[in-house]
Structure formats: structure tokens, C-alpha cells
Structure 1
């Protein structure tokens, strides 16, 4: 069985890769990932979000080398994912045109927050028990 730290490292790498794939995801399933009509590059706002998430993805992958040294980045990812998901869920419910987000990016961000939050909490509990 994997140790908690190994699971955290795997999760950081997988979520980092997923964040880097936001642009291709928006091409494959635009109603679940893009918030505008037309191709992904048609929206300056969307391209800015792609850049921010790709950068976060790269840093999450790098954080997998030493999660303990990158706790702030991981907790930022957890909390910003929760806030982003909540805002998008409210906006999706208010606009029938954006209902696909309730099946796409909203649950994806909640998954990131729940998995990383659980792994960080169990990592902390394991470290406390070891000392």
C-alpha cells in the first residue's frame, strides 16, 4: 500500500497535469470547461485563466518533490478551488446556458479540494503521530 506522502505526491502530479490540460479540455468539451461561445482562444479572459491554471499546474507538479516544503501552495490550491467552484456553481445555476459546468469544472475543482485537503489532513495527522 502507498504511504500517505506518496499518495499526496501522486495527487499533486495528476492534478497538476489536469490543470495544464485546461485548454485541450475546453476544445473536447466546451460546455463543461469554457465560459464563452466559439473556440477557446476567442476569449481573452479564458486564455488568461488557462495561463494561470497552467502555471499552477506546473508548480503543483514541482511541489510533488517535497510537499512539506510547499504546504502554502497546496493549501492555496485547496481553498482557491473551493471558492472558484462555489462561484462557478452559483453562476451556472443562474444561467441555463452554463449548466454543463455543473458536470465539468465545478465537480473537478471540488474533487481537487477534497482529495488534496484529505491528504494534507491525513499527512499532518501521520506526522503528529510519528513524533
Structure 2
């Protein structure tokens, strides 16, 4: 299997998870939600759900031609790493938020590492095939 194909699979899989943040908070609130009560009780949370669902749809669309959407993939990788680091620090400081250290923090780090490893390899792979794309 090529790195480009692995990247396409990762884009669809992580895109789907980003689209499913809301249901994940219902199934496991301690690992995914940062407020008490139902998801719709927090305007901030619903805004974040909307942003992540939109990002998820764009990641799924980017799977058709990942190299043409490199900036979106890098944004997702870097912003996920930053989000995970901040969230880990906050969860470490608040014992009531420890579920995030085994929930969304590792999930975000997995996204960052997967995209950070697969995208450069897919680009190199395309270069070896003589189909060098810039984006």
C-alpha cells in the first residue's frame, strides 16, 4: 500500500471522527466534553463541534487528492498538536478533567503524528513517480 493511499484512508477516518465529536461526548463525556450537562448546554462547545464537523468534511473531501490539499492537512496536524498540548496541560492541572488525558488528547496527537508522517512521505512518493505536485 502506498503512502498516498494510507494518507487518503487517514483523511477519511479522522475526518469522520471530527464529524462525530458530538456523539462521542454523549458516549464518553469525561473523555470528550469540557463542561457538565448535555452538549447543547454550552454555546462554546456547540461552536467547537461546528468547527470540527466542518473540518472533518473538508478532510474527507481532501482525500480525493491529498497533495493538492497539503496546507489543510498541515493545518490539521499542527493545530491538533497545539490543541493537545494545551488540553493536556489543562487536564493535568484539574483532577476532574483527567479523562481527557486518555480521550481527546491522545486522539489529537494521533492525528498530528499520522498526518505529519504520511504527508511528507506521500509527497516524496509522488516525486519518485515523476508526478511532483506543489500545494
TM range, smaller chain = over 0.9
RMSD: 0.9
Counterpart of 1:47? 46
C-alpha distance in structure 2 between counterparts of 1:125 and 1:63, whole Å? 18
- Give secondary structure in 1 for the equivalent of 2:35: coil
Counterpart of 1:112? 111
Question: Where does structure 2 lack aligned partners over 5 or more consecutive residues?
Answer: 131-135
C-alpha distance in structure 2 between counterparts of 1:12 and 1:69, whole Å? 13
Which ranges of 4 or more aligned residues in structure 1 deviate by more than 3 Å? 128-131
C-alpha distance in structure 2 between counterparts of 1:77 and 1:122, whole Å? 17
Counterpart of 2:133? none
- Give secondary structure in 1 for the equivalent of 2:59: helix
1:72-92 Cα deviation digits (max 9, x unpaired)? 000000000000000000000
Counterpart of 1:73? 72
Show the 5 A alignment for 1:1-131: 2-131=1-130
C-alpha distance in structure 2 between counterparts of 1:16 and 1:127, whole Å? 23
Offset of 1:68 from its aligned partner?
A: 1.1
C-alpha distance in structure 1 between counterparts of 2:127 and 2:60, whole Å? 25
Give the TM-score taking structure 2 as reference length: 0.93
C-alpha distance in structure 1 between counterparts of 2:66 and 2:100, whole Å? 30
Query: What count of residue pairs does the alignment treat as equivalent?
Result: 130
